Structure 1
Amino acid sequence: MTVEPNLPLLIRVSGRDRPSLTRDLLQLLGSAGAVLEDMEQLVVRERLTLDVLVRLDGADDGVVRDVLFWGFQHGMKVDFERVASTSSRAGLMRHAVTVLGRPLTPSSLAAVAEAVAATGGNIDRIVRLATEPVTAYDLVVIAGDVEAMRRELGAVAQAERIDVAVQVNGLERRAKRLVVMDVDSTLIVDEVIELLADEAGCEPEVAAITARAMAGELDFEGSLRERVRLLAGLDEAAIDRVRARIRLTPGARTFVRTLKRLGFVVGVVSGGFTPFTDFLRVDLGLDHAHANTLEVRDGRLTGEVLGTVVDRARKAELLAEIATAEGVPLSQTVAVGDGANDLDMLAAAGLGIAFNAKPVVRAQADTTVSVPYLDAILFMLGIRGADVERVTAAENAVAAGRPVGTEVGA
C-alpha cells in the first residue's frame, strides 16, 4: 500500500488483547517518525479494538509494511484507511443517554437507538457501565432535535419498562458534587409515620392519608399535622422501637459510601422526623439531615409538630441552603425523591431523579429510576460498576456488625 505524504492514516488493530500491544505499536510508529493525531482503544471480553490516527509526513516509507508485519507476529488483524484529519462532528455538543434496566434486552437498546436516529441524532460511542444490580449503558450522542429526542426516549422508556436519562455530556455532568435525598420510600423502604401509627394502633388511617399526600391530592402540611394528631399519647419509647424497625433501601449503603468516597456531599431532607434522620446521618455518615420535630411532653407525643414544617417548598429551600453552605452551585446538585412533596426540590436541582416514584413525580422529573436499587442512581451520574466495586471492596469492613439499619435483602 502506498501512502501519500500529508494524508492522515487511520490504523485499526483488532484481535485478542494482551499486555504491551498498545505500547509496542506506538513505539513502532514513533520510531518511524509518525505524528499521532488521535487514538481510541476498547476491550470487550479480552478482544481489543485499537484505532490510531497518524500523519506520515516525513515518516519512514516502510511504516505500513512494518505495522502489517507487527500485526502478523502478534496474531492481530490490521486495517488501514485514509481519512480527513478533522471531523465535521468535532465541535458538536454531545449528550449522554444513560439506559438501565433489569433486564435490558437487545430489543430495548434497539428501540433507544431508533429514537435517537428518528430525531436526527447519531450515536458516537457506547460504554457499558454495569451489569449488577442492573445492566446500564452510556450512549454518547450527537443529538439532532434534543427535546424531540427526550420525548421519544421517554416513550421508549415507558414502553420497554426501562429507565433513560438525557444529560449534556460535558463538565456540568461530571461536576455534580452534592446529592440530597428524600428519606421515606427513597433512602429507606418504610414510611416512618406509618410505623409510628402501627405502634399507636391507627396505621390504616395514617397510611390512607399518606398515600393521598404523596400522590399530590392533599396539602402536605395539613395532612402531616392530621396524621401526627392521631399519634397523640404514644409512648416516647415507641420512637426507639420504630427506629430499630426501619429498613434501608437495597443499595443504600453502597450508594452513600460510593458518593462519599468520590468526594460528594450527601444529605437528606425529609417530611418525616428528626429522631430518624439524625440516626441515619450518624449511621450512614451523611453530611446534612433535616426533618420535622415531634413535640414530646412527659414522655409522650402530644400530637403536634414544632417549628416550620418540611413541606414541598421547604425541601427546595433546604436544598439551596445546603448548596450555599457547601459552596456548590445548584446546577451541580442532584435531588432524589418519590412523592409530590419532592417536586420543588427535584425541579430546583441540576438533576432531579424520581426514584420508584408516584406517577405525578415521574411525569415531571428530569429522569426516573424504577428498579428497586438505590445504587443504580450512580450509573445515571456516569459512575461505572467497576468503580463501585472498588469502593465496596475498600470499605467492606464497615458493613460488619451493624445491628440496625440493615438493607432489605442484605
Structure 2
Amino acid sequence: MSLPPLTRVSIANYRSIRALHLPVGALTVFVGRNGTGKTNLYRALSLLRAAAEGRITRAIAEDGGVESVLWAGTRTRGPVRLTLSATLGDLTYAVEIGLPKRGSDAALPLEPLVKEERLTLASGARDIALMDRRGPTAWLRAADGGRITYDNELLGSETALAAFRDGARFPELDIARRALLDWRFYHAFRTDPESPLRRPALALTTPTLASDGADLAAVFATLWDVKVDPVDVEEAIDDAFPGARLEVVTGGADCRFALRFPDLPRAFAAHELSDGTLNYLALVGALLSYRLPAFLALNEPEASLHPDLLEPLARVVARAAERTQVWIVTHSESFADHLAAHAGAVPRTILKTDGATAIEGLTVTGEFVDP
C-alpha cells in the first residue's frame, strides 16, 4: 500500500513561529537569510516524525525543554502549547505539547507532556474523528465503526499515535504512523576525518540512506549490484565532476567507494575526498537511492559546496521530486534559482516580521498568493 502524501502542515508556538499553515507539494523550497527561522520549519517537521516514534517529548527535552522550544515572543495569559499538525492525504494528525499542570499531572517539573492528540478523516463538509486523546485518556474509532475508550492508559511522555499499534483494529492510525515514520531528514553531513561517510559500510542491501549517511557505501553498492542501474548516480557525478566516475567495491563483510577523476592516475577513496565532494556524494545518495522515503527534507544542503555544484545538485533534486516529495530550506538564492529553473519550484522567501517567522505571499488561511 502506498503511503499518503503530505499536503499541508501547521505549526504554532514553536520558537520563532507564532502560527503558520503551509501547503506542501512535490517540491517545496524556502529561502531566507540567517536568523529568519528557516531551520525551525525543518525541526518542527522532524518533531512530527518523533511523535510517530513515540519520542516527541524526549526530542523536546533533548533540545532544551518546553521553555526552550515554545514561541519566543510576547505571550498571552494562560498556558502556551506547541501545536503541530500534518495532513496526509485525507487524514490529519495533530499533537499539542505543554507543561505539567501542578497538582494534576503525574510528571516531573517542567517535563514536556503530550496534552492532546487528534486524528481526523476528511469526509465532505465535516471531518470524521478517528482518535481523540486528552491527557492520559483516549478514544479511537475501530474499523467496524465502534468507539473504544482507554481511560488513564497513556503517560504524558508518550503519544497515542505510537502506543496503539493494532493496524487491523485502527487502520487509519496505522497509516498515519507509517507515513510519518517513513519521512527522512538530512542536515549537515559530517565530513571531518572521523565522519561515517568516510568509512566502509556493512555489505547489506540498503535502499535508503541513513540520516547521518553512515551507510552511503551500501546505498551505492545496492544501486550497482542489486538494482544494477546506477545511471542516475553516474550522470549526477559526471554533471558535477566532468569525466569522473564512481567505483564501488563489495568484498567480504563491507563495501566501499572511490571517485576516479579523468586527469589523475588513481581513484580517491572516501577518506581522501574533499569535504565538498563528499557532501555532494552524500546528497546524491540521499536523493537517488534505490527506494526514496515518502517525504525527504534537506536543511541547507548547499553548505560546504562550491557554487559550481549548486546547479548539478538542483538537477538531482529535480529527479528526486519525480519520485517523492522533497522539502528544502536554503539561504542560497542562487541554489533556489537553479531549483526554479530545473525543477519548476517556486521558492518561498522566509522573513522575520515583529520577531515572528513569516513567509512572503502566505495568507493566514494557508494559501500562497503569487504576483
Q: TM-score band, normalised by the shorter chain?
A: under 0.3
TM-score for the superposition, normalised by structure 2:
0.26
Q: Which of the pair has the greater relative contact order for Cα pairs under 8 Å at 6+ separation? A: 2
Q: Whose helix fraction is larger, Structure 1's or Structure 2's?
A: 1
TM-score for the superposition, normalised by structure 1:
0.24
